[in-house]
Amino acid sequence: MNTKKVRGTIGILTGGGDVPGLNPAIRAITIRAIREGYRVVGIRRGWGGMIDIVRDKKVDNSANFVELTEDIVNKAGRTGGTFLHSSRTRPSHVPGKHVPDHLKDKYNNEMNDLTPEVLKNIDFIGLDYLIPIGGDDTLSYSVRLYQEGVKVVAIPKTMDNDVPGTDYCIGFSTCVTRTIAMTNLLRTSAGSHERVLVIEVFGRYAGFTALLPTMAGSANRCVIPEYKFKIEHLTELLVEDRKRNPSNYSVVLVSEGATFEGVDMMFSNMEKDMFGHAKLGGIGDAVSAKIKDVSPQFNKGQRVETIFQHLGYLVRSGDPDAIDSIVPMAYGNLALDLVLKGIHGRLVILKNGRYDNMPVDIVTSTKKFVNIEKHYNTDRLRPVYESFIDKPLFLI
């Protein structure tokens, strides 16, 4: 009989959009924690699972949380996505229609703060530490919990790479790798038909996922959320790029949050999630259409045809690349290092090529965007990289 005393219980959850690298992070945390004598509980569906728990030992809560073992995490540790599932739930702002049935009598406003229930559920599960893995939305709520007394150690995840305080977020490398690969695949069609290739990529407020592939040579130009561009100027540049190319085509990457003069941020529908975000979509199509309309001005009266492709979930699905296999393993172990020292209220980070940690409230105290002055040429609509001395791995 195993009489070894459990040192405590650690909860793990993944919130927001899926990215490759989440399962390796869960695996790293779980294996190290178990070997250090901790019990590990996986919260299903991010903060969604945390508000849906029924605090009754006789009730089956397996849809909301599960005890993790080495066997469970080893099976998923090399795969993409998150086997714990995810959601865009924000417990401090839950619309009445999304309040769990067993709480509807108590919370019946148009918008409800279920944080008191989350705190009770943390006690019900018996969590001593909580390790949320997510972007600035998911982690902003972890700041709230930390302020309420929960011992939080957070891990940054988002393919947009826009969590403040860290140079790297899980998912970013795979996103850039896939964007480069698929852009290069699409070049054959663009070249065959002598067109301008317009590719829409993720990036609501920050343009890193368009800037980095362009810096790597995958595109002639990129347009990003941080700078409202002129469609005529973009078209002129792309027509010139096309003329200089022996295969007579050119390529532009368009961040989903980009805007041009006369057109604001575009949405595929206006239904908002609990963090106030409507689903973006359509700017790439609009750019593609306008380029065709405007192109005769810069091509001796002849219209240049375009090819438009929205990469969407293709860049966030599937297996992680090397960096998104290694960094999550390191982040998970960094989180356990803090737990073992009794340290909490921290965000594990990569800064200037070194692993470290910093106060978790950095997530809510600032924002992370492309520095236009340093890294983006607004005249050439492409990245600036004059010197690489003392720059971090991904430069920006």
Q: What is the CATH number of the domain that holds 160?
A: 3.40.50.450
Residue 1: pLDDT above 50? no
Residues 130 and 115 in one domain: yes
Mean pLDDT of 279-296: 89
Give yes or no for a contact between 365 and 164, defined as CB atoms under 8 angstroms apart.
yes
Whether 161 and 13 share a structural domain? yes
Compute the average pLDDT of residues 57-63: 96
The pLDDT, as a whole number, for residue 318 is 94
Instruction: Name the 3-class secondary structure at 269.
Output: strand
Once rounded to an integer, what is the mean pLDDT over residues 285-298? Answer: 96
Domain shared by 352 and 254, yes or no:
no
Shared domain for 333 and 306, answered yes or no, is no
The mean pLDDT of the chain is 93
Angle at 335 between CA 332 and CA 339, to 5 degrees: 135
Note down the domain range covering 145. Answer: 8-170+322-365
Over residues 121-167, the pLDDT tens digits come to: 999 999 999 999 999 999 999 999 999 999 999 999 999 999 999 99
What is the predicted pLDDT for the residue at 166? 96
- pLDDT band per the 50, 70, 90 thresholds, residue 276: low
Domain shared by 226 and 261, yes or no: yes
Res. 4: pLDDT tops 80: no
Catalytic residues: 160
178-209 residue pLDDT tens: 999 999 999 999 999 999 999 999 998 999 99
CA distance linking residue 305 with residue 257, whole number of Å: 24
pTM: 0.93
Please indicate, yes or no, whether residues 302 and 334 belong to a single structural domain of this protein: no
Average pLDDT over residues 255-278: 70
Tell me how many helices (H) and strands (E) the chain has: 12, 17
Whether residues 71 and 218 share a domain: the answer is no
Q: Are residues 26 and 153 in the same domain?
A: yes
User: How many separate domains does the chain show?
Assistant: 2
Q: What is the largest CA-CA distance in the chain?
A: 85
> Which CATH number is 249's domain given?
3.40.50.460
Pair 159, 238 in one domain: no
Residue 271 domain-assigned (yes or no): yes
For residue 172, the model assigns a pLDDT of 96
